Amino acid sequence: MSGSSKRLTAGVDLGGTKIQTVIVRDGEVTGSARSLTPQSGVPADVIEAIVETLHTALQAASTDDEQLAGVGIGTPGEIDKHAGAVSLAANVPGFSDRVELGPLVSEQLDGVKVTVENDVRAGVLGELRQGAGRPYRNLLGVWVGTGVGGGLVLEGKLRDGRGAAGEFGHMVVKPGGRRCGCGRRGCVEAYAGRASMERRARRLVERGHNTDLFRIMEQRDRQRLSSGVYARALEQGDTMAEKLIEKATWALGLGLASAQNLLDLEAIIVGGGLGDRLGQPFVDRIVEHMAPHLFVAEKPPVVIGTELKDLSGAVGAAVLASG
Amino acid sequence: MSGSSKRLTAGVDLGGTKIQTVIVRDGEVTGSARSLTPQSGVPADVIEAIVETLHTALQAASTDDEQLAGVGIGTPGEIDKHAGAVSLAANVPGFSDRVELGPLVSEQLDGVKVTVENDVRAGVLGELRQGAGRPYRNLLGVWVGTGVGGGLVLEGKLRDGRGAAGEFGHMVVKPGGRRCGCGRRGCVEAYAGRASMERRARRLVERGHNTDLFRIMEQRDRQRLSSGVYARALEQGDTMAEKLIEKATWALGLGLASAQNLLDLEAIIVGGGLGDRLGQPFVDRIVEHMAPHLFVAEKPPVVIGTELKDLSGAVGAAVLASG
């Protein structure tokens, strides 16, 4: 095994529905693989699926796990970095209690070092080092998906705070406003997180409003209003979808203006399932809502989508593994 | 002149009504002086008053300007740090246009180095290095006075951003809310800045509401509702004063919760004229309004008043002069 082969790292993006892995050498993705997250509710099945997906990606990169310098895993939930453990990852079957994710994966890979990080932070790191964030040293990554997560980068470093920095989704944009999944009211996530938007849509339907959202969902054999469902509904000019997205971009824009006034950032990157899927028109609407509230209006931050799209998280996890 | 004597620095806090100077040796204030800001509208008169007040403080410290290693000046307005110039300091008579403050003061002091900084940032730096902020490396200083200013300290350093970081007063707490001095709506400052609060009070009086605020103002021979006027009115149980302060602490608490959720800070320091004058009860009300919106409710930031009170700015300016 030569020195240069040890520059090979793997990144895993663990989600509630899929597992995305990449193999990275010298900053280039040389192989990738994706599988569905087992829905059995047993952590061991998820661990096995991660390892299998890693092996598939290694094969795609024409290499094997003996060449790996390290593995990074991005996962939802609360991270105990030191132990490589994750708690409260409610969207991953079997992961609502604490899982020793790092050690369990490492065990299956002959003891290779495994680093565990929050999935949003991993995604933002991926964009910072290998994607749209490369030109910037001070930026906020806003990941719009089931919830709204954030990763704050200052002077080129992802900020931890005391462990909970970057919770952009829980900045308050409307006091006494819509109920958020966190139990509070008026958070950005209450308007821009898919879970909250779906609760809102269901309530509107109960009240007699019309929409094609749930019909499209069923046609696509989905259980939830996914980002693809919103994209299709918007294409069809569905009024409820338009209003929900309008309100989401309003909340994101308002929260971002406040964050910008406080931090004077160079750039904002909008990612996550909904951000990636809806792309530039979504980003443009956010900018329109943000602009009127910027204190230094003549010097707005650059606002852009991701470059790596749904590979951000896995690439960022691989970056972690190399550090 | 010995090496140790060059550890002597001077700090100046230039305000619309007064000029506060301190002489600092080895982190200790060894002399201070205060004078009224000339209201003539001529910058040269303000420069002369600054130099005179410095000389008085040097006398109080039993030394003279030959011993000075440097002078720092905190001033309202926009700062051109490189040139030591200030623009748009509308509250300082004669300072609405650009004034080459640093060079002009330096000329009067045999060429000693003069550093110019925004007054709020100087105040936060004073508290960070010599006051209530000493135990912390990550904090937000919120200065509540005529306006609401902020200074963000991360990893022990005051953050510049691209020159405008820390504008906490222009975080939006109520979309479409009260008009702010900046022309936008719903900013923290629209509720918690003395200028906005006074506009609100005058409007309420026009509408027939009762208050002792303006009577107290006249008794004290003031032109404006100063922090002391609010303090007296609160002591008397004046309903309008109570409501205005309640709304101010609401806006401050809400904005601080959003800032905390984004940054996960160790501490928040509440200063400025109103913060210093109203003290702990004011801080306590802010905390009560902030707490319900904290995402990590079990780990709130420490929220405290200043230690140096109205010397924060001058001491911080002296710190700048030593760096």
Element (H, E) at A21: strand A18-25
* Side-by-side strand order, sheet with A8-14: A28-36, A18-25, A8-14, A68-75, A114-118
Report chain A residues touching chain B, CB-CB < 8 A: 138, 150, 152, 154, 159-168, 170-175, 182, 184, 254-255, 257-259, 261-266, 292-293, 295-296, 299
Distance, C-alpha A29 to centroid of its chain: 19
> Which one is predicted more confidently, B65 or B204?
B204
Cβ atoms of A150 and A142 within 8 Å: the answer is yes
Task: Check A258 against B261: CB less than 8 A apart.
Answer: no
pLDDT tens digits, one per residue of B127-138: 999 999 999 999
Question: What is the 8-class DSSP label of residue B27?
Answer: T
How far apart CA B174 and CA A111 sit, in angstroms, is 53
Q: pLDDT tens digits for A43-99?
A: 999 999 999 999 999 999 999 888 899 999 999 988 999 999 999 887 898 998 999
Q: What angle do CA B39, B45, B46 make, to 5 degrees?
A: 75
B contact test, residue of A142, A256, A263 with most B CBs within 10 A: A263
What are the C-alpha distances in Å from A307 to residues A276, A310, B260? 9, 9, 29
Nearest by CB: B296 against A138, A164, A173: A164
Main-chain dihedrals φ then ψ at residue B88, nearest 5 degrees:
60, 30
Chain B residues near any Cβ of chain A (below 8 Å): 138, 150, 152, 154, 159-168, 170-175, 182, 184, 254-255, 257-259, 261-266, 292-293, 295-296, 299
Residues in A touching B249 (Cβ below 8 Å): none
Look at residue B182 and give its three-state secondary structure: coil
> Is the pLDDT confidence value at B2 over 80?
no
| A241 sits in which H/E element | helix A239-263
The beta-strand segments (E) located in B120-190 are 139-144, 148-154, 157-158
ipTM: 0.94
Q: State pLDDT tens for residues B249-259.
A: 999 999 999 99
Alpha helices of chain B — where are they, by DSSP H?
Answer: 43-60, 101-107, 119-130, 188-192, 194-206, 213-219, 227-235, 239-263, 272-290, 312-322
Q: Compute the C-alpha angle B176/B147/B117, nearest 5°.
A: 130
Residue reference for tokens 């749904």: A310
Residue A6 confidence (pLDDT): 62
Structure-token pair, residue B136: 């912390």
A144-168 per-position pLDDT tens digit: 999 999 999 999 999 999 988 999 9
In this predicted structure, what is the pLDDT of residue B6? Answer: 62
Burial class (CB within 10 angstroms; exposed 0-12, middle 13-18, buried 19+) of A227: buried
The dihedral built from the CA positions of residue A304, A307, A313 and A318, taken in this order, carries a sign that is negative
For the record, the structure tokens of A15 come out as: 């989600």
CB A311 within 8 A of CB A29: yes
Q: Looking at A92-96, A121-125, B58-62, B282-286, which range is the least confident one?
A: A92-96
Mean pLDDT in residue range B108-127: 96
Q: Are strands B267-271 and B139-144 parallel, antiparallel or unpaired?
A: parallel
Nearest chain B CA: its distance from A124 CA (Å): 15
The residue type at B230: Y
Determine whether the interchain pair B175/A171 forms a contact, defined as Cβ–Cβ distance below 8 Å: no
Please, what are the domains in chain B? 4-124+312-322 (3.30.420.40), 135-306 (3.30.420.40)
Contact A152 B263 (CB under 8 A): yes
Task: Report CB contact under 8 Å: B262, A261.
Answer: no
Q: Answer yes or no: are the C-beta atoms of A101 and A86 closer than 8 Å.
A: yes
B-chain CB neighbours of A152 within 8 Å are 262-263
What are the helix and strand counts (H, E) for chain B?
10, 12
Is residue B151 within 8 Å of B127, Cβ to Cβ?
no
The per-residue pLDDT for B317 is: 98
Of B161, B163, B296, the CB nearest to A265: B161
Looking at every residue in chain B, the average pLDDT score rounds to 95
- Of B162, B254, B264, which has the smallest distance from its Cβ to A172's Cβ? B254
| Nearest beta carbon to residue A152 from set B168, B257, B262 | B262
Residues 6 or more apart whose Cβ sits within 8 Å of residue B38:
B45, B46, B48, B49, B93
Low-confidence ranges of chain A (pLDDT < 50): 1-5
Question: Percent of chain B scored above 70 by pLDDT?
Answer: 98
Angle of the A272-290 helix axis to the A239-263 helix axis, nearest 10:
70
Distance CA A6, CA A8 (A): 5
